[in-house]
């Protein structure tokens, strides 16, 4: 990940839609895809029926560089199964990052398009996340029937969506309007989220050889995300849309858009210090319930569980229990 250019990784790995279609087929199911009207290109990929009693909007990790993995799909299927065991009918919809064009894809004779970064820097994914949430609300889901969240870069996107719900960010050319929730979103889970590009922490120097991530990796992919984008202008003006911890804490004061938040991380990951700091910040500024779960693991423990085929870790159980608890009340 550190030394391979993004375009090479994206050429080697199956695309998000190819991974999704293959996985759905292996489950004996039929793909269910929504193309969002906001830009006629953003896609939501469904695991389970489109209209269940509850829904999880999932933003997958991979630094905005790597596409969706089978491990992510296995993880979401596990959550659905555990929820079903408690009598909760739950579906998952997964956001496909980047732009999609069937015409261009055919023109390239099945060549993979660069739908992630650096082709689509900030705030493209954020605008897609907003459109995805609006789509669920317009489809009939109420805020209390929705939980959103993600791992790593997906956690960063979840924080960006949280920030937008707190203070609307105007968009161009989509010109996304503010979301009128008519009530708070039921919950949000943040798994090893990127919360800062400040590398002067103990965890960055202590765990550089233990974690799957390194400073070089995070810095390089972080630059791909923010270069040639309005990211620095947003941060300099004191707005937390692009990075939750890059602005004064007062910006988050009175955050009330989500009822319950769980933030998880590993004690041996380079994000450790930022995750702990973020959790403390949210506890001080949020009007909802905030839980911090730190485990003896490295980055993105739940994805590692399903990518390696190992039993669910305590972090995976904590997130699953959080979703069931939110929807079970």
Domain membership of residue 194 (yes or no) is yes
The H or E element spanning position 321 is helix 314-328
Q: Provide the CATH number for the domain around residue 259.
A: 3.40.50.1820
pLDDT score recorded for residue 214: 87
Tokens standing for residue 284: 């001080």
Q: How many domains does the chain have?
A: 1
Q: Is 168 exposed, middle or buried (0-12, 13-18, 19+ CB in 10 A)?
A: middle
The answer to whether residue 171 scores a pLDDT higher than 90 is no
The SS3 assignment for 79 reads helix
Whose tokens are 């399903």? That residue is 306
In this structure, is residue 285 part of a structural domain? yes
Tens digit of each residue's pLDDT (9 = 90 or more) over 74-89: 999 999 999 999 999 9
Q: Which contiguous run of DSSP H or E holds residue 291?
A: strand 289-295
Overall average pLDDT of the 254-277 stretch: 97
Would 1 be classed as within a structural domain?
Answer: no
The confidence score (pLDDT) of residue 99 equals: 61
pLDDT-based confidence at 105, cuts 50/70/90?
very low
pLDDT at 111 over 60: no
Does residue 64 lie within any of the structural domains? yes
Is the pLDDT at 290 greater than 90, yes or no?
Answer: yes
pLDDT per residue as tens digits for the range 187-196? 999 999 999 9
What is the pLDDT at residue 174? Answer: 56
Using the predicted structure, report yes or no on whether residue 177 has a pLDDT greater than 70. Answer: no
Residue 109 clears pLDDT 80, i.e. is over it = no
Categorize the per-residue pLDDT at 239 as very low, low, confident or very high, splitting at 50, 70 and 90: very high
- Statement: residue 45 has pLDDT above 60: yes
Q: What is the mean pLDDT of residues 52-72?
A: 97
**How would you class 88 by CB atoms within 10 Å of its CB: exposed for 0-12, middle for 13-18, buried for 19 or more?**
middle
Answer yes or no: is 81 within a domain.
yes
Domain assignment of residue 153, given as a range = 6-328
**Predicted confidence (pLDDT) at residue 224 exceeds the cutoff of 50:** yes
Q: Please list, in sequence order, all residues whose beta carbon lies within 8 angstroms of the beta carbon of residue 185, skipping any fewer than 6 positions away.
A: 143, 144, 146, 147, 148, 165, 257, 258, 259
d(CA 33, CA 20): 10
pLDDT at 270 over 90: yes
The predicted model gives 90-100 an average pLDDT of: 88
Q: Which two tokens stand for residue 300?
A: 């993105």
């Amino acid at each position: 990940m550190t030394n391979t250019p993004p375009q090479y990784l994206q050429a080697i790995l199956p695309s998000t839609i190819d991974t999704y279609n293959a996985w759905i087929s292996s489950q004996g199911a039929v793909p269910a895809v929504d193309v969002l009207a906001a830009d006629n290109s953003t896609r939501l990929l469904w695991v389970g029926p489109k209209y269940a009693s509850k829904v999880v909007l999932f933003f997958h990790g991979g630094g905005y560089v790597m596409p969706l993995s089978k491990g992510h799909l296995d993880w979401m299927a596990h959550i659905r199964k555990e929820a079903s065991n408690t009598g909760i009918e739950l579906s998952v919809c997964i956001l496909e990052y980047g732009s999609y064009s069937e015409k261009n894809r055919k023109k390239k004779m099945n060549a993979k398009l660069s739908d992630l970064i650096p082709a689509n820097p900030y705030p493209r994914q954020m605008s897609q996340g907003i459109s995805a949430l609006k789509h669920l609300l317009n489809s009939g889901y109420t805020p209390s029937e929705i939980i959103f969240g993600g791992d790593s870069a997906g956690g960063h996107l979840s924080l960006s969506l949280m920030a937008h719900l707190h203070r609307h960010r105007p968009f161009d050319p989509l010109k996304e309007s503010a979301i009128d929730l008519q009530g708070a979103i039921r919950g949000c889970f943040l798994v090893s989220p990127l919360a800062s590009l400040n590398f002067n922490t103990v965890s960055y120097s202590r765990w550089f050889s233990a974690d799957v991530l390194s400073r070089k990796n995070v810095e390089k992919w972080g630059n791909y995300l923010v270069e040639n984008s309005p990211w620095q202008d947003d941060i300099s003006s004191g707005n937390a849309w692009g990075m939750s911890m890059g602005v004064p804490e007062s910006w988050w004061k009175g955050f009330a858009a989500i009822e319950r938040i769980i933030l998880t991380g590993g004690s041996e990951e380079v994000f450790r210090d930022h995750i702990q700091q973020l959790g403390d910040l949210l506890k001080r500024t949020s009007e909802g319930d905030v839980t911090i779960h730190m485990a003896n693991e490295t980055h993105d423990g739940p994805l590692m569980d399903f990518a390696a085929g190992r039993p669910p870790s305590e972090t995976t159980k904590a997130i699953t229990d959080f979703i069931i608890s939110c929807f079970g009340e």
